[in-house]
């Protein structure tokens, strides 16, 4: 392609898998995360997305690079919390952490996309936007990101820019396992909702991301693709 794409949260898990697959597909990849991986298939910058000023400085540097016409907004954080116990300040801090970097970075490179008459925005949300227990702040943040995805899509469709979301089900990442350790009640609760009776591999989510970033997905925009092992179908049928 001769084009460059940013992947946030790129040091591990879904982000790292997506970076590898996008590089294989011909993208030049810029990875962003708080800690650097041992190896990376492209350029890498360390940034703490909790620091709004540092994030904005980086966004402004990227705005000056006209070859950056794609972004995968993958970084985020989740925690277990019941609705009745949420502290409002902590909730809005969680929403900001999950939403603000995507806003800052995507806004910065949008003029590049419009000038190129081509752009790809892929926002990573979650199946929790359907409404699951103990994920109020995280679910609210990811639902807002899905809404922003549709807004970006509708405002930029005539400029050759697509914006879509990938909503993974439970995936074998460090973030997921920090909240749902093996053998935990949380793990059992998730498995009970998935007809495939397993969790996703990061590479399976990366495949959906790479497709939506591809030339071939140019007529798909404003959509949320749930990659969740059939969790949206309802309670799994009994095994035959």
Partners of 30 in beta bridges: 6, 43
**Pick from 59, 69, 64: nearest CA to 3:** 69
The contacts of residue 188 (CB under 8 Å, 6+ apart) are none
Q: What token pair was written down for 231?
A: 């969790």
How many whole angstroms separate alpha carbon 70 and alpha carbon 29?
A: 9
The contacts of residue 164 (CB under 8 Å, 6+ apart) are 121, 122, 123, 149, 153, 212, 217, 220, 221, 222, 223, 224, 225
CB 147 within 8 Å of CB 95: no
How many whole angstroms separate alpha carbon 41 and alpha carbon 50?
A: 25
Q: Which residue has the tokens 């597909």?
A: 25
User: What values do phi and psi take at 169, rounded to 5?
Assistant: -80, -170
How would DSSP label each residue in 177-212? HHHS-TT-HHHHHHHHT-TT-SPBPHHHHHHHHHHH
Active site residue 138: yes
CB 74 within 8 Å of CB 15: yes
Of residues 138, 176, 199, 226, which has the active-site annotation?
138
How many whole angstroms separate alpha carbon 21 and alpha carbon 104?
A: 25
Residues taking part in catalysis: 138
């Amino acid at each position: 392609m001769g084009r460059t794409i940013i992947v946030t949260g790129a040091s591990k898990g879904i982000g790292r898998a997506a970076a590898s697959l996008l590089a294989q597909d011909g993208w030049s990849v810029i990875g962003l995360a708080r800690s650097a991986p041992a190896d990376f298939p492209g350029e890498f910058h360390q940034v703490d997305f909790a620091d709004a000023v540092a994030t904005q400085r980086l966004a402004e540097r990227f705005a000056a690079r006209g070859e950056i016409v794609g972004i995968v907004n993958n970084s985020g954080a989740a925690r277990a919390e019941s609705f009745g116990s949420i502290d409002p300040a902590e909730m809005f801090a969680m929403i900001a952490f999950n939403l603000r970097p995507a806003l800052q970075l995507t806004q910065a490179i949008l003029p590049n996309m419009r000038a190129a008459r081509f752009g790809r925005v892929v926002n990573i949300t979650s199946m929790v936007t359907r409404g699951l227990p103990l994920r109020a702040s995280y679910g609210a943040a990811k639902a807002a990101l899905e809404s922003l995805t549709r807004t970006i899509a509708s405002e930029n469709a005539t400029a050759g820019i697509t914006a879509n979301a990938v909503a993974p089900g439970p995936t074998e990442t460090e973030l997921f396992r920090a909240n749902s350790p093996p053998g935990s009640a949380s793990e059992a609760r998730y498995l009970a909702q998935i007809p495939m009776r397993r969790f996703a591999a990061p590479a399976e989510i990366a495949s959906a991301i790479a497709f939506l970033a591809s030339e071939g997905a140019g007529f798909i925009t404003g959509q949320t693709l749930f990659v969740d092992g059939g969790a949206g179908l309802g309670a799994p049928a009994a095994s035959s």
